[in-house]
Structure 1
Amino acid sequence: RREAERVAAEEAARREAERLAAEEAARREAERLAAEEAARREAERLAAEEAARREAERRAAEEAARREADRRAVEEALRQEEEERLAVEAAIERETARQAAEEARRLELAAAAATLAAASRTAEQTVVMVADDSKVVRIKTGRLLTAHRFQVVMAEDGEDAARQIAASIPDVLVTDVDMPGLTGLQLARQVRGNPRTAELPIIIVTSDSEQLQDEAAAAGVNVVLGKPYPEALLIQHVRQLAKVSVAS
């Protein structure tokens, strides 16, 4: 009986040991599986985080690239706009310069035309007043001027000349010095003192041309002719003072 009890006790101990061993093995297996599951889940979590991080980095890179592209597009648009503005300003400057050049050329041509017109006066368009108290001198000088196709008006003396000039200004005045009432020099001073007639060319005729030069210049006389004078010289002075073209 004791042997049987011992054997039964050993068998019970063996079975208990086997049970405990099985439980330990099951526990260890469960722990292993749990550890593997935890490791798998951790790996999945880390993989998910890595994937999320990479996705975030990709999106951040794409956003940065988009912003950089937008920035470059804006800069390019601004550059093109600036180039267009500069081109427009350059075109405006060129057009302004062209218009200014054309205007300057037009004014130059107009001035040249005016100068040409002024220098192209014909004898027929030129009125010469002869002021002399000698009827013979008036007629002789008038015929000479008429022979060269000038228009001639005559004044009997200085006062008559002053009245006629006040009414209608001739192109050239040819006057004697010694005249009753208003002398040739007094007439010249009166003409020069009036803004309307200040530019009227004056030829004065005298027998004392050398002694009269300074006084005549002070009175504003353009030419002093001494008597007797060559007829061609009078015509030459009239042409020059009235700016009559040589062809006329």
Structure 2
Amino acid sequence: MPRAARPYTTMNEPLTWILAGALTVGVVVLLLWLGRRRQQRARDAAARREAQRMALEQAEHASRAQRVATELERQTARAEAEHMREIETGLAQRLAEQRAAETALEAERARAEQEEALQREARAEAQRQQAVADEARRLAEERAEAERREAERLDAERRAREEAEQAEREAQAARQAAEAAEARLAQERADAERRAREAAEAAARAERERQAAEQAAREAAAREAAAREAEAAAEAERQAAEARARAAATRELRADETLVLVADDSKIVRVKISRLLAGQGYRVALADSGEQALELMAAERPHVLITDVEMPGIDGFELTRQVRAAAATAELPVLMITSSDDKQDEARAAGVTQLLGKPYSEEALIAAIEAARLAVRVPA
């Protein structure tokens, strides 16, 4: 196992880092102390120089100041030497402790590696024993399977013998039954021939009765058709009489009575159609949208509606659908003007009477309006 993955090494790494940190802190403290001692010595040297200056100024105290300075320097040197020995002793002790800790860690790693090797050997031995047990179990299962297949083979042979004996008995019974069936079949064949003769006679009688019934049905249908034709002729005569009466009481709508509503968002188109229709003597109402066209129709019902397909809001198809949905305008002729050739199906579904493509001829527009006008009858 790599060192980074050993459990005991991982457990003792914090101790190693603590010892290294403690040693580092000790070294830093020693350096700081030495720095302070150098500063102290500098200050002491300055003090000595000041003492010498004072000794020159005060001769009577020179000797005593010199002795005091000498003694102070000697004591300071002894203190520094003693402190340095203490620091060196502490560092040596810490280094010895760190080496002992490292030695203990190495021993712990060796024990862990030895224990891991023993565990690997134990696992390998357990796997070998498991493999032996699996092989023994497989052999036992194979023997049991072979014994089971042999027992099944013997049982299949026994059942085959029993089935063969049963089949022989059934074949004997079948032969006996076939002989009896053959006798019954001969009797049934004779009975069938007799019944066939009787059925043929009955079918002949039924055919004669069917032909008679069909003849009666044809005669009844002819009488019913004649009655329906008489009723239809009477109804046609009545409707013709009513039409003649209505024609006598009504007249064709004049051009100056015909109101044409033009719905188009283009002012140019509205003016053009208005001038054309006014020149033919028609009354004209103009709407620039589908909504305005519905408002005008609510005030006065027109006789013809001319609409564009594409308009803001309610377009031509929706306007036509709403016109067809209202009972008062359900039969109103609607002429739609479009520039597209693929609007036939949608126009037919909406209920447009006639679709005019752009450009359209004025004669075609006038002819369409005239056809719508002539279809309207007003009281005479």
Scaled to the shorter chain, the TM-score interval is 0.5 to 0.7
Separation (CA, whole Å) in 2 of partners of 1:206 and 1:124: 27
Corresponding letter in the other structure for 1:241: A
Find the counterpart in structure 1 of residue 362 from structure 2: 231
Separation (CA, whole Å) in 2 of partners of 1:178 and 1:122: 31
Residue 148, structure 1, aligned to residue 280, structure 2: yes
Separation (CA, whole Å) in 1 of partners of 2:339 and 2:242: 47
Find the counterpart in structure 1 of residue 337 from structure 2: 205
> How many residue pairs were aligned?
139
Find the counterpart in structure 2 of residue 109 from structure 1: 244
Find the counterpart in structure 1 of residue 322 from structure 2: 190
What is the 5 A alignment of 1:95-174?
Answer: 107=242, 109-114=244-249, 117=251, 120-174=252-306
Q: Which of these two proteins has the greater Rg computed from alpha carbons?
A: 2
Separation (CA, whole Å) in 1 of partners of 2:349 and 2:296: 24
Find the counterpart in structure 1 of residue 350 from structure 2: 219
Q: Secondary structure at the match of 1:205?
A: strand
Q: Please tell me whether the aligned partners of residues 128 and 173 of structure 1 are also in contact (alpha carbons under 8 angstroms).
A: yes
TM norm structure 2: 0.35
Render the CA deviation track for 1:116-150: whole Å, top value 9, x for unaligned: 61xx2111010000100011100000000011100
* Percentage of identical aligned residues: 46
Relative to its length, the structure with more helix (as a share) is 2
What is the 5 A alignment of 1:33-112?
Answer: 107=242, 109-112=244-247
Separation (CA, whole Å) in 2 of partners of 1:218 and 1:186: 11
**How far off is 1:182 after superposition?**
0.5
Separation (CA, whole Å) in 1 of partners of 2:244 and 2:275: 38
**How far off is 1:105 after superposition?**
8.9
Gap change, CA 1:230 and 1:106, over 3 Å in 2: closer
Separation (CA, whole Å) in 2 of partners of 1:168 and 1:104: 31
Separation (CA, whole Å) in 2 of partners of 1:205 and 1:123: 22
Stretches of structure 1 that go unaligned for 5 or more consecutive residues are: 1-102
Render the CA deviation track for 1:192-232: whole Å, top value 9, x for unaligned: 00111101110000001x30111101111000000110001
Gap change, CA 1:109 and 1:161, over 3 Å in 2: same
Q: Please tell me whether the aligned partners of residues 123 and 244 of structure 1 are also in contact (alpha carbons under 8 angstroms).
A: no
Separation (CA, whole Å) in 2 of partners of 1:234 and 1:125: 18
Render the CA deviation track for 1:141-166: whole Å, top value 9, x for unaligned: 00000111000000011110011112
Q: Secondary structure at the match of 1:211?
A: coil
Gap change, CA 1:105 and 1:214, over 3 Å in 2: closer
TM norm structure 1: 0.53
Gap change, CA 1:110 and 1:133, over 3 Å in 2: same
Q: Secondary structure at the match of 2:347?
A: helix
Separation (CA, whole Å) in 1 of partners of 2:261 and 2:344: 21
Counterpart pick for 2:311 among 138, 161, 179: 179
Separation (CA, whole Å) in 1 of partners of 2:322 and 2:256: 27
Separation (CA, whole Å) in 2 of partners of 1:214 and 1:192: 16
Q: Secondary structure at the match of 2:272?
A: helix
Separation (CA, whole Å) in 1 of partners of 2:362 and 2:375: 17
**How far off is 1:106 after superposition?**
7.0
Q: Please tell me whether the aligned partners of residues 122 and 244 of structure 1 are also in contact (alpha carbons under 8 angstroms).
A: no
